[in-house]
Structure 1
């Protein structure tokens, strides 16, 4: 349908390429790996228009939004003594080796057309940083909760002036409370232990945390060393239910649910997203999505990427979202240089491909980081946040998504109902 028509070639990991995206009304908020985020007018999907660029902070830059509040993840210690100094983009030579700030930046963006680093309200240090975060509304208590994923427990350091520390024995995720009317009072309110799997494997951290809040089903799943399922009837105090995994998967990357809560949808990232893991000779487990029964943790089935990629295309199943409809169970996923895919998993034992885009290799002569970071269904269109290209927008005409719920906002990893 439309695109922002850009090309930000990635030569190292200290550059402002694009990461995840969130939506509020007709504005998209797109994270920037090394630099901040930007706002995009998507009122006309044929002509998305960049409104502002905010230069503030280092990687990973994943983004969340609630009203005029914008949340951004920082997953590397940076030298700072106050909130505004976290905007400084430390060069690789002066990155704080230990004891610097990492965690959540909170902005109040009253006008997306004029967003800037001056909109930074406060920061909240979180243990081992925030690789990404999940927005969990708790409106009865006038607050937004953020489930913070640390991804990895490194580097180790003692508590900083921002309250964050990092230990190799992490074993938890943290809950940050953001009062909607007083975001400057945001703070960590809980450590949530991840527990042990049936074979006594310790779940040390979460890469992503998927959340479902729909018609009485309130679940969260930590995608980490093992997948850990929680009851979040009280969203400020998640309660451990069970854990599960699959043969050949060393650590989970992403997790979501069918909207009825019966199926957990899990993916992982062999090669860290920078390797060509979808070649014809690669094992199926490297290029699959996994479907589990949430009541038992039993593996129900898998979907395998059906089109082999070349040795110059970084590829795994990366970030995805579930189409908000009760008619079918349908997901949309980005797969780096394999593009965007739409999968019907209404029968998780026999999932099927509905639609796809698979562009040619970004650089046929060299392996380089590029492609679809994440792809999401939002109000009748598929929005692909692309590492080098910015935002690509597609229309899908298929009966499986007919009647999908119109949403006033969308955050990665957060599924809110009801759907019909």
Structure 2
């Protein structure tokens, strides 16, 4: 049992006073709050908090109950090796992908390639300017895929914002040739309905399929019409990526009404997001399975036929989940961890007032066989460290740490930092390590913190929205066996079979 390097986790008392106005007030009511998906999609202008909350934050810092602004704290089993600040791309840092000795870091202004052959001293290889929220990134062979989920004037990297109500506006998938890491080349673009908020790769022989997740249609958007109750599927020939094209729109929530068959949201389910598409899908190719986090629903899918995924179970949590955000399988495909992005990543939800079951992870066991498999709820996990009311904090992107016989993952929590936690017992998950910084500000809520935190070949890599690229080293007898596992590539939404 390791010792925390601080007693802050036991003493924190922040967050008990509800905010008086705005989004924070909604989040602290008895019912779940409607989520605003991801900070880049909403107004990220810092929001002032009440004088009492600001004073409470400063007092807690003075008393050593939370870290001071920019102060780094962590458990004894985690070492902070290095931080690489943002450089030529000043926008919001987003998702990460890995291949060999390289890390690919998304940013709302483009993407950055790091050489991580020495994790203690990553080197920037190139930075590509190609604006478009949210620029989630993945790689396969010599191809890099980039999601664009903001309406642009055209599909070029010099496009400008243009309303989605204009028919000529573009959003979707971009494809780059990265055979020369110092000079990536933009080779293809595929427009998809409602853009591409996130995407997941399904390798299949000489092709790569892309499951494109997007949502929030409107009758006024020519290329994003309701009900939008499924996902776009793009087929990319590896040898001819310029021929990439949409081959199917897979309806996942069929229904007779105008809104399809997903969660109707309010007023039927107050505070729950209406399902109009998916936020994120994680595929497990070795098991022909996928798990979808789809706004108001969690789903389990068979992907034996990658062009025609089939939903085999659908679940809802209309008490504690506001926005089903992402999914992670355990290695044996007997469990799925779903995240709830309460407040859309732009609100302070890691406090006593919101409590331990909202803005958390939901752990589901997979029971049964074949197409009769069901998702069965077992428990919630949320970081036990209360954050200030000036810190956006909620469950976000993470990955498995490959330890055979145990279920352990690392996860980003925005300004809640990076958490390592064990869910081997689905009903009794527990944190076993953490890393975080103090609040960006003490007088207003400012969006920042770790967007993605992933384990890759012995180290944890985190892409911090405001602070840049962090590398952490985890040393713990429970996770040390993972150092023996080395991958050639990691796109977290395409989970590998670590022990095959």
Answer whether TM exceeds 0.5 for this pair: yes
CA displacement, residues 59-86 of structure 1 (integer Å, 9 cap, x when unaligned): 1111011122010000122112xx4xx2
Cα 1:251–1:172 shift into 2, 3 Å: same
1:103 aligns with 2:172: yes
Equivalent-residue separation in structure 2 for 1:155 and 1:396 (angstroms): 49
Equivalent-residue separation in structure 2 for 1:210 and 1:357 (angstroms): 25
| Equivalent residues of 1:105, 1:120 under 8 A apart | yes
Equivalent-residue separation in structure 2 for 1:359 and 1:280 (angstroms): 19
Equivalent-residue separation in structure 1 for 2:219 and 2:347 (angstroms): 24
- How do 1:36-75 and structure 2 match up within 5 A? 36-75=110-149
Counterpart in the other structure of 1:239? 310
User: Which one of the candidate residues 105, 108, 111 is aligned to 1:30?
Assistant: 105
CA displacement, residues 193-247 of structure 1 (integer Å, 9 cap, x when unaligned): 11269x9736421001111123xx2211110120111011222221110101222
User: Which one of the candidate residues 148, 171, 174 is aligned to 2:229?
Assistant: 171
| Equivalent residues of 2:153, 2:159 under 8 A apart | no
CA displacement, residues 276-322 of structure 1 (integer Å, 9 cap, x when unaligned): 11122213222321111223222111112100000110000111111
Q: CA RMSD in A?
A: 2.1
Equivalent-residue separation in structure 2 for 1:311 and 1:251 (angstroms): 21
2:433 is paired with a residue of what secondary structure? strand
| Equivalent residues of 1:4, 1:48 under 8 A apart | no
Range with bigger deviation, 22-31 or 320-329:
320-329
TM-score for both structures, normalised by structure 2: 0.75
Equivalent-residue separation in structure 1 for 2:357 and 2:166 (angstroms): 36
Range with bigger deviation, 20-29 or 285-294:
285-294
2:362 is paired with a residue of what secondary structure? strand
- How do 1:338-349 and structure 2 match up within 5 A? 338-349=416-427
Counterpart in the other structure of 1:161? none
Query: Whose Rg is larger?
Result: 2
Q: Which blocks of at least 5 consecutive residues in structure 2 are unaligned?
A: 1-79, 256-260, 265-274, 368-373
Shift of 1:351: 0.9
Cα 1:89–1:17 shift into 2, 3 Å: farther
Equivalent-residue separation in structure 1 for 2:186 and 2:219 (angstroms): 26
Equivalent-residue separation in structure 2 for 1:228 and 1:271 (angstroms): 21
1:114 aligns with 2:114: no
| Equivalent residues of 2:357, 2:381 under 8 A apart | no
Shift of 1:410: 0.8
1:385 aligns with 2:451: no
Equivalent-residue separation in structure 1 for 2:363 and 2:107 (angstroms): 31
With a CA cutoff of 8 Å and minimum separation of 6, indicate the structure with the bigger relative contact order: 2
Cα 1:176–1:49 shift into 2, 3 Å: same
Counterpart in the other structure of 1:11? none
Regions of 4+ moved over 6 Å: none
Counterpart in the other structure of 2:84? 5
Equivalent-residue separation in structure 2 for 1:394 and 1:15 (angstroms): 23
Counterpart in the other structure of 1:148? 212
Q: How many residues align?
A: 395
Q: Write 1 or 2 for the structure with the bigger share of strand.
A: 1
Counterpart in the other structure of 2:152? 78
User: Which one of the candidate residues 342, 363, 370 is aligned to 2:448?
Assistant: 370
| Equivalent residues of 2:327, 2:339 under 8 A apart | yes
1:350 is paired with a residue of what secondary structure? coil
Counterpart in the other structure of 1:131? 197
Cα 1:113–1:262 shift into 2, 3 Å: same
TM-score for both structures, normalised by structure 1: 0.89
Q: Which blocks of at least 5 consecutive residues in structure 1 are unaligned?
A: 9-13, 159-164
| Equivalent residues of 1:194, 1:204 under 8 A apart | no
